[in-house]
Amino acid sequence: MKFGFAEPTAGHKPVAENEVIADTKTLELMGVPLEVGAPVTLNLTVHGRQVQRDFILAGWWKSDPGFNIGQIFASRAYVDAHLDELQNTYYKDSSLTGAITGYIKFKNSLNIEKNLETVLAKSGYSMNKSMPNYIATGINWAYMSTGTKIDAGTALGLLCAMSLFVFAGYLIIYNIFQISVLKDIRFYGLLKTIGTTNHQLRAIIRHQAMLLSLIGIPSGLLAGFFVGKAFVPTLMARSSYAGSAVSVSPHPLIFAGTAAFALVTVFISTYKPGKIAAKVSPVEAIGYSEVSQTKLKKHKKSTSGARPHRMALSNLGRNKKRTLLVILSLSLSIVLANTVFTFSQSIDVSKALQKFNASDFLIGHADLFNHKYNGADSALSESFIDLVDGEFDDAKLAPGNYILEGVKADDNGNAEMDSFNHKVGDKIILKCKDSVKEMTVLGHVIANLDTNTDGSWRGSAFYLPTDVFKELTGIKYAMSYAFDVAYDHEPDMETFLKQYTDSVEPTMSYTSKSTALSSLEGIQNTAILVGGVLAMIIGLIGILNFINAVLTSILIRRREFAMLQSIGMSKQQLRKMLVLEGLWYAVIAAMLSLIFSTVASSLLVRPIAASMRFCTFTFTLKPVIIVVPFYFLAGALVPLFAAMKNNKASLVEQIRQIE
């Protein structure tokens, strides 16, 4: 019931032999009031025999627009009371009476086909059709992959994607704590002068991290939950499941796992900053300028080395690790945004339409679209066709003593060779009731099960002229009707079909290009919205890290700036040097973003797109081109404002403040 989204929202589950539950739309069509104990009379088909039975309503649930078929559930007591008639004869006469469908849910979708085969083998069954213990199986195609096994490329892509997010979390936290330690490095030096040990200094930093985590992690979990709670309905509304009931509930394991991951990341990220604070001596801390005296390069004579742009570039190399971390923080958001955008652009609408929509519209009984087509009982009503433009004239189809064999294809449209049952030129005998006809196989065609059948495959599929089919079977009714309309009339037809299937003939249903497009747009919107928000958050933190790094650098280097001004450097030259430093950050970040975005698209998006039936890898660098100019703007303005604020005091006042 849970897997079928059929848990009662009112009343209770059926317990007694005569109790049933159903969805609200079904009860409405049957004229049954939404009252516990209301009488429900059902005409059942039991192995071809009509049986009328009386039940009472035990409960109901709100019909989901995503389901276009009604459901009624009886109790286990009912099954036990009618075991004599619930014998499974499906493999003999295709009767659904007594047939059992088992739902199996694994922990994850990894190697799901192999896991299913293992379960069946241990239960005494086989997935091989030629075996006497064969049992029909199916894997939910919503996993949207060409196969259920993960190939090396897809596994590498997923591994790289996970590593990217883990590294992003580590990078952000590490950068924040490193900058914090450098900012307070003199304070830690003073603590050493009064006897604080290295171990105690590292403990102080870990204690700070713990206090921040106790505030930040719960706040982040709550914010994430409510953001998700707000986003999910928005995403659903943009998909083909618009109007469906959406419920977002907290799961303890998700909260616990996220909190544990964040906490571990915090402690790993604080290790190196703690080591820096513990390593610096009290004397070095007082005059700390980001460069160890033992690692200073030899002086070199130059006539152009003191130019602002050369000094700016040289300053980036004074603390290579901090410079690298700031640049990676800036680049990471662009890479994420570009990766997400590349994936959304790789969703191939035309490929999906070819798979599910051979025509603009396909109408039929609701059973047809739920893979439960049952002959005359699931026939398309003639009145539904007669409201539709066009003429269903089977006389226009050329008769003949030939037949085409339909063969299955994989998700990429390639014919599966093992589905060929006959060769071209083979003579086959068609028998149906009292009719017998010999026909010649002229060729093979790919059978699109999603557009012209009920979606099932029973060994063979054949295509033959309408009049020959009617002569053999005696069937005069239509199973489905596919048609096209003028482009400018598609919205009107969509509106008409929706209104007709909702109110005039609710047992009829339809599919269209519009419904397929809405589903794909939902995937695109999900990728863009979720990935875009994530990229914005990481980008914002990257910018904040950049601002913090610039401010910290200016704070630590105040003595140096005062000395430079004392030997003749003007405030304008100092500001120019700092602005150029910021621009160098932006230039290097832009170059790395271009390189990493290209690599990420190739290693992450390409294999994932190749494994998804609706994707065709499409490379793009639009997000990089759009975002990079903003980085240049920030790279120029942030140092400029920081330098202007620092230079408000006179040179004498600056030296006094430093001392």
Q: 523 is written with which tokens?
A: 């995937």
Contact assessment for residue 592 and residue 628, using Cβ atoms and an 8 Å cutoff: no
Mean pLDDT of 273-292: 67
Mean pLDDT of 139-159: 58
Residue spans per domain, the chain: 10-103, 152-296+307-350+518-658, 359-512
Q: In whole angstroms, what is the distance from residue 251 CA to residue 574 CA?
A: 54
Beta-carbon count within 10 A of 122 CB: 8
pLDDT tops 60 at residue 158: yes
pLDDT tops 60 at residue 48: yes
Mean of the per-residue pLDDT values of the chain: 76
Contact assessment for residue 356 and residue 621, using Cβ atoms and an 8 Å cutoff: no
Q: Which has more confidence, 22 or 194?
A: 22
Q: 15 is written with which tokens?
A: 């317990």
* Length of the chain measured in residues: 659
pLDDT, tens digit, 9 for 90 and up, residues 500-554: 888 888 878 887 877 767 666 666 676 677 667 766 776 676 677 677 767 767 7
Q: In whole angstroms, what is the distance from residue 349 CA to residue 515 CA?
A: 12
| % of residues, the chain, pLDDT over 70 | 70
SS3 658: helix
Confidence of residue 64 (pLDDT cuts 50, 70, 90): confident
Instruction: Identify the weakest region by mean pLDDT among 259-268, 438-447, 592-601.
Output: 438-447
Contact assessment for residue 60 and residue 22, using Cβ atoms and an 8 Å cutoff: yes
Q: In whole angstroms, what is the distance from residue 314 CA to residue 366 CA?
A: 72
Q: 51 is written with which tokens?
A: 């049986």
Q: Which has more confidence, 600 or 565?
A: 600
Whole-number pLDDT of residue 574: 78
Q: 328 is written with which tokens?
A: 């990676």
pLDDT, tens digit, 9 for 90 and up, residues 160-175: 667 766 776 676 677 6
Whole-number pLDDT of residue 520: 65
Mean pLDDT of 266-284: 77
Whole-number pLDDT of residue 324: 80
Q: Which residues have a Cβ under 8 Å from the Cβ of 207 and sit 6 or more positions away?
A: none
Strand bridging mode 49-61 / 402-407: unpaired
pTM of the model: 0.55
Whole-number pLDDT of residue 33: 94
pLDDT, tens digit, 9 for 90 and up, residues 230-261: 777 766 665 545 555 566 677 788 888 888 88
Q: 40 is written with which tokens?
A: 């429900």
Strand bridging mode 72-73 / 19-23: antiparallel
* Best CA proximity match to 188, nearest among 204, 207, 171: 204
Q: 174 is written with which tokens?
A: 């590490």
Q: In whole angstroms, what is the distance from residue 161 CA to residue 165 CA?
A: 7
Q: Which has more confidence, 142 or 549?
A: 549
Whole-number pLDDT of residue 646: 63
